[in-house]
Amino acid sequence: MQVSESRGVEFDAQLIRKLNKSGPRYTSYPTADRFVDSFGYRDYLQAAAALRTRGSRNPLSLYLHIPFCDTVCYYCACNKIVTKNHEKAATYLSYLKREIEMQGQLFAGMNQVEQLHLGGGTPTYFSDSQMGELLAHLRRWFQFAPDDVGEYSIEVDPRTVTPERVHSLRRQGFNRISLGVQDFDPEVQKAVNRIQSESETLAIIDAARDANFRSISIDLIYGLPKQNVMSMAQTLAKVVSARPDRIAIYNYAHLPHVFKPQRRILDSELPSAESKLDMLALCIRHLTNAGYVYIGMDHFALPTDDLAVAQRQGRLHRNFQGYSTHADSDLVSCGISAISAVAATYSQNVKTLDAYYEHLDNNELPIARGIKLNMDDALRRVIIQMLMCNFELSISSIEAAYPITFATYFTSELAALQTFADDGLLAIDDEWLSVTPKGRLLVRNICMVFDRYLATKQEQPLRYSKTI
């Protein structure tokens, strides 16, 4: 049996083989596939009104979705629009500004922002001047915390920006930057249609350091076509030598029936399940030996990074952008397909440009669907958040916050969890549920036990990625 332990996480290949199954990533609970079309614009207005009624003073988190890309990466599962016609971006920007204004009016008086994230697509598809225009518009409608308090991040494709542009992004107010790399191996890059030299990536990292970005993050993927343990080791060595503050290593989920670009990837070129496990073990060992802390799921960070600090202090949060340091923020999202989390609701925008423009032309926020959380949803969301972020749950804190007796309310769940305890993945007593180092890689499996929707509605395994 292959078992290796590294700084708080233990890799047990036999248990991973046994328990690896399809399941949600829990960037929300209920998960986005449970949202309903009956939730609309007026429901969102009521949620914002509820915040105002109770005098909410929590800071906001803003997310903006910029969907455009110049070229398609075959592995991509994001909601994006591939076009070289940059006039489309100008039209989109004008409508995005309109949505920002409507949200700004809705949250007037409670619009202090401590977190901003631009994702996509490729946010730097917007030109330097368009980005400046967007940031100025945001500041007209929202109050941003000072640079040393707020976390203002942007996703960057190193192929589309220059070092000069990186300095401009810093001047425009961004203090965190995330770079897509995926793999440095030329054969892997060809297989996924993303040719990106090591030198251009390192140049952007150097520029971000020179510009005093507070945090630099690198995204990698394991399980891509033509990847193997040796090529992955070489990529990891190059990334670690660049010393980014955060590294995310995602498991490539091959779902060509869901994501059309993936149909261009040949099944015969994908690594075997065993090879993927070997790559995962390598990543964990290499990064933890290099001094990175395992945060959870696919995230690693240096001990000094805010993400690692937040986890040590019990402030870590999980949302649609992954792990976050701002647990008390309501999330307001703009752009096609973007998902907001305001009060006890989730709401998702329409997914096409035409529908997005039509709603805004009618002076309505472009909300397509969502969900209002009942007490059971809110309770299970807290439990899943605690397990995903802190790897432990205080039973007494749940009983203090909710009118339940934990052992009675979750009788069937505790019985199901006993299997994980028997496998050494979880420790259970009267006061705590604690995920062991061996269980941390399989925390999604543990959280699925508390997912009422999986228990009451037929699970659709094709919809989810594998838990490992």
3-state secondary structure (DSSP) of residue 63:
strand
Q: Are 342 and 332 in contact (CB under 8 A)?
A: yes
Q: Is residue 63 marked as binding?
A: yes
Residue matched to tokens 């290796």: 4
- 389 marked as part of a ligand binding site: no
Q: How far apart are CA 1 and CA 57, in angstroms?
A: 52
Q: Is 150 annotated as a binding residue?
A: no
Residue 182 marked as a ligand binder: yes
Q: Return d(Cα 27, Cα 24) in angstroms, integer.
A: 8
Please give the helix or strand (H or E) that residue 92 lies within, else none: helix 87-106
User: Token pair 């997912």 is at which residue?
Assistant: 451
The answer to the question of whether 73 is labelled as a binding residue is yes
Q: Cα(124)–Cα(86) distance, rounded to whole angstroms?
A: 12
> Mind spelling out the 3-state secondary structure of 346-376?
EEEECCCHHHHHHHHHCCCCCEEEEEECCHH
Integer-rounded Cα Rg, in Å, for the chain is 22
Tokens of 431: 């006061």
Tell whether 346 is in a known binding site: no
What span, in angstroms and rounded, lies between the C-alpha atoms of 401 and 187? 53
Give the separation between CA 312 and CA 211, rounded to whole angstroms: 28
368 known ligand binder? no
Cα–Cα distance between 139 and 14 in angstroms, integer?
52
Distance CA 181, CA 165 (A): 18
Q: 25's torsion region: left (phi>0), alpha (psi -120 to 50) or beta?
A: alpha
- Bridge partners (DSSP) of residue 116 are 62, 152
Rounded Cα–Cα distance for residues 195 and 72 (Å): 11
3-state helix, strand and coil shares in percent for the chain, rounded to the nearest 5: 45, 20, 35
Instruction: Give the Cα-Cα-Cα angle 259, 265, 269 (nearest 5 degrees).
Output: 140
Q: How many other CB atoms are found less than 10 A from the CB of residue 175?
A: 19
Is 121 annotated to bind a ligand? Reply is yes
**Is 407 known as a binding-site position?**
no
Residue 74: strand, helix, or coil: coil
For residue 253 the two structure tokens come to 């989920």
Of the candidates 325, 247, 251, the one whose C-alpha atom is nearest the C-alpha of residue 293 is: 247
For residues 282 and 338, the answer to whether their CB atoms sit within 8 Å is: no
CA dihedral 219, 225, 230, 236 (to 10 degrees): 0
Question: Which residue numbers belong to the known binding site for [4Fe-4S] cluster?
Answer: 69, 73, 76
Question: Which residue numbers belong to the known binding site for S-adenosyl-L-methionine?
Answer: 63, 75-77, 120-122, 155, 182, 194, 219, 253, 339
Question: Which residue numbers belong to the known binding site?
Answer: 63, 69, 73, 75-77, 120-122, 155, 182, 194, 219, 253, 339
